[in-house]
Structure formats: structure tokens, C-alpha cells
Amino acid sequence: MGCASAMCHHLCFLVALILSFCYGFAQDLPPVACPGNFKYLERNDRIVGQVSVVLDASKANLVQVELSQPDVTAEGDPGEIKLLGSDASVRHKLQNNEKINFLIKFPLPNVVPKLTRIIVNSETICQALPYDPPSLQIFLAHTVSTIIPLAAQPFPMPQAIPTFDGPRLLPAVTPRPQLPPLQMPPPQLPPPQLPPPQHLPQPTQSVTPTNPPPIRRINDAPQTLGQLNTVCGREKPIQTAFIHFGDVVQRGQFPWMVALLERIGNEYSFTCGGTLISARTVISAAHCFRFGSKSLSAARTVVSLGRNSLDIFSPGDLQGVSLLVLHEHYDVNTITDADLALLQLTNQVQFTDFVKPICLWNENYLLDLPSGHKSYVAGWGEDEHGNKNTRLAKMTSTDIITQTECRGNLTFENVRYVTSNTICASNAKASGPCSGDSGGGLMLEEQDIWMLRGVVSSGQRTSKGCDLTKPVIYTDVARHIDWLLRTMWF
């Protein structure tokens, strides 16, 4: 009994001591004006702060934290703010409008400053009065810049097809924001022949319909790569001069350019670009079909060929998609490394001046391109005026840059998107692809023959739109040529 009583006495004393410590700890901490956005934590025997704020996934976010320190005589480091959590968890929270957490390391281990302000993208989220003088103001900032895919984002259907009011400069190699889907008038032409509905295949699989509908075959359509090489990459003669800074693409100028549309009832919404590489194969970006909550199936995809316009009632061809294959190594977390999709058209297309495939890379061409090598990109994506898409396709030249140069011009968080299977390009005049240009081709001209080298994947943006001062990242088709040749259809 005596031992038990003594033990109980010591236990009570220990509990009282712990409670006293916790009470004292709480009393020593400054008041917090916004407990939903900031709290003090103990980590490694040191008091730190945690900021929690919702950020905008569509742009670069500047998070600023201001603190007031009562001790102005003590010297310490400047303090630090950094992201908490893995890259994957941060991306998930961004996409789902969840709070992102930041760790705040204070300058002095034994002096706890008071939070006076949290600012996100110039908007004050929380504010409190600083300590009375003498006190020290501490300013910390962190920018969360996200590489984003350049696919068109979901957008409310407009009431009419946007009109084109003259040439607009194509924003340099950049990701494009949301672009308005097209709302078509009641169709006066029969809808494109689409296969029975099917589920979108997993990235590691392709799904073949059990009873595929018979296709319209064309007798003179190339059936081998050798035959294809005799017709690919030749443009229709264009009388207008080639202007490389956002000029309108003339019909027949890039006869391999296609627009991908999503069929929603009787309406067609523009989603991405693509490139014709055979009589029955279109290549585009995998993230146009699967990224985040997006899941676009083959059955809902329509391909517009032979047009420089998004107006499907202009001369050209519409084709359904009978099979969709995503590259088996495509990963929604890394995006760029294998951001490739192949679309099997429901029927072979007839090659004309306005519908023709581009050539594919082969060993006769350079694999490692030098810095400054001229390339070209075209699409219907967002322009420099903030228009979500252009009714007529625009094109521009852009210069290849080395991987070292590319990484050196990206933020620390985005360097990892540059891999051995990507290729970067940039334009000193800030001209290039933006949101809505995803899936389009990075094209090279070799002795009057056009060749596909890359597929538009991702770029960086700011609160004002695509950041055209930064490189655009393309998935390098040449690095995936074996997969492409064994997967495509003739």
C-alpha cells in the first residue's frame, strides 16, 4: 500500500508538471488572428509555424508571410518558408482546391515571432497588428509555379462560334488556358460515324472492339512505312509568304494538322491538337484524354481533318475514333516523359492537298538537335490577347534549346519535367503554344520535307496567362519511335 501510494503521488506530480509545462507553453505563444490559416507547432524541440492556404492550380502563386519579432537585438538567420508534403500530394491538393501547407522556420530558435499578415497573389488572407517598437519585421515569400499541360480546359459552352477579327500573335511556346468549346448550330450534315461507346483504356492497355465496324479502305493508301515516306511531309504550294510570328495558317499549309473535338450531344467542343501520321493514325498528347478528373473516351472523340478552321461546316473531313492507345509509360504525375496517345480513325482517309501525313523521324536525321535549331509549332489555342482559342489556326517558329538550357530557365519545382524523353523549345519574341495547343506537333523542315519531332505537352504560366519567357516542354517523338512504329495503323 505504501509503495502504491508513493507511486500514485509521483504520477500525480508528473501529470501536474506536464500540464504546467503545456499551460506555460501555450501562454508563451503570441495570439493568432487566423487559426484556420496559421498555427504554431513544436518540431525537433523548436517552435515553428505552419501556414495553410488554398492556391490557384492554373497559375503561379506567390505566398508572402509577414512576422513581427519583439527581440531586435538578437541576431539569427533570415528565416525560411518551404512547402510541406510530396510533389504528388501538393499537385493533388492544387487540383482539388485543398489547402497547401507551408512550414515557417523562425530566425531565432528561442524567440517566437507573431504573425502579422498572410498574402496570396496580392490578396491579404489574414492580418494582425505588429508588436510595438522596438520590434523587427520579418518578410518571407515562396512562389509555387506549376508546369501545366497545354490541353484546353473545360469551359462553359459559348452561345456562338467565336468570330475571327484578323491575325493575332500566337503566344510563344507556352501552356494555354481554358478555351471555349464550340457550340455548333443544329447539325445540317450527318454526324461523324462513331463506333459504339467504349471505356477509355488504361494507360498500359489498348482496347479493341469485339466486333469492330467495317472500315472504308482506300486502294492506293500506303500500307507500309516505305510507301508512306513517298507521300508524307509535302505541303500544298502556298502563295502567301511564311511569316513566323503568329501568322494564320493557310488551308493546305500543314495538311497533317488536325483538331480533336469532344462530341457532347449534338455539339462539338475543341479540346486539343493532333497530327496525322498515316491514313488511319493520329498522334496527340495522352493528357488530352486522361489527366486529373478528365477521362475522354475514343467514342466521344471526333477528328477534324483538312481544315485550318474550327468551323466543321467548312470544307474538310470528320472522322470518328475506333481505338485509343495511351503510351504504356504515361504517368499523370510526370506528364511529359511519355505524353503520347495514338488514335485509330474509323476509316482510312483519302490523301489530298489538304489532308496528308507528316513524316516521322528516322536514323537519317539528327537525334540530338543543337541549340538554336529552327522548329515550328501551330495550333488553335489561346492567344496573347487572352482569347481562349483562335478560330483559325496560328503558327510560329521556335528554337530548340538543350536540356541544360531548358532546366536553367525553369523553376526548381519544374526541372523534373525535363527528362531524357523530352525536348524543349523557346522563342526570344515570346511566341509559341499556349493552353489548347496540347497534342499539336513540333515540326522540323528538312530539305522541303516536314517531319514530326515532338508533341506539345506542358509549359509554365503566370497569373496573366502563359509564361512565354520560359521554355515549352514537348514529348520527344524520336525517343519513342519504336513504340510508335509498332503501335500505329496503316
- Give one DSSP letter per residue of 456-473, joined into a string: EEEEEEETTEE-TTSPEE
pLDDT at 224: 78
Q: How confident is the model at residue 214 (pLDDT cuts 50, 70, 90)?
A: low
Question: Does 40 score more than 80 pLDDT?
Answer: yes
Rounded mean pLDDT, 462-474: 78
CB 379 within 8 A of CB 391: no
Q: Give the residue, 369 or 7, on which the prediction is more confident.
A: 369
d(CA 342, CA 206): 10
Architecture per CATH, 149-186+220-487: Beta Barrel (2.40)
Q: Peptide bond preceding 471: is omega within 30 degrees of 0, i.e. cis?
A: no
Amino acid symbol at 89: S
Average pLDDT, the chain: 77
Q: How confident is the model at residue 12 (pLDDT cuts 50, 70, 90)?
A: low
CB 149 within 8 A of CB 55: no
C-alpha cell at 377: 509549332
Minimum mean pLDDT range among 1-5, 66-70, 221-225: 1-5
φ, ψ for residue 478, nearest 5 deg: -60, -35
pLDDT at 264: 86
Rounded mean pLDDT, 303-319: 89
Closest among 325, 376, 329, 330 to 488, alpha carbons compared: 325
pLDDT at 97: 86
d(CA 335, CA 291): 9
d(CA 365, CA 127): 60
What ranges do the domains of the chain cover?
A: 31-144, 149-186+220-487
Closest among 59, 137, 143 to 102, alpha carbons compared: 143
- What string of DSSP letters covers 382-436? --TT--S--SB-EEEEEEEE-HHHHHHTS-GGGGGG--TTEEEEE-TT-BS--TT
C-alpha cell at 427: 522563342
Q: Report how far Cα 14 is from the mean position of its chain's Cα atoms.
A: 56
d(CA 39, CA 330): 39
d(CA 433, CA 71): 51
- Name 206's Cβ contacts closer than 8 Å, sequence gap at least 6: 323, 324, 325, 487
Rounded mean pLDDT, 130-149: 78
**Coil, strand, or helix at residue 485?**
helix
Rounded mean pLDDT, 190-203: 35
Q: Give the residue, 91 or 170, on which the prediction is more confident.
A: 91
CB 320 within 8 A of CB 346: yes
CB 346 within 8 A of CB 322: yes
For the chain, percent of residues with pLDDT exceeding 70: 72
Buried b (16+ CB within 10 A) or exposed e, 173-212: bbbbbbbbbbbbeeeeeeebebbeebebbebeeeeeeeee
Beta-carbon-side half-sphere exposure of residue 119 (alpha carbons within 13 Å): 15
Q: What pLDDT, in 10s, does the model give residues 96-137?
A: 889 999 999 988 888 899 999 999 988 999 999 998 888 888
CA-CA-CA-CA torsion for 149, 90, 141, 460, nearest 10 degrees? -10
pLDDT at 196: 35
Amino acid symbol at 215: I
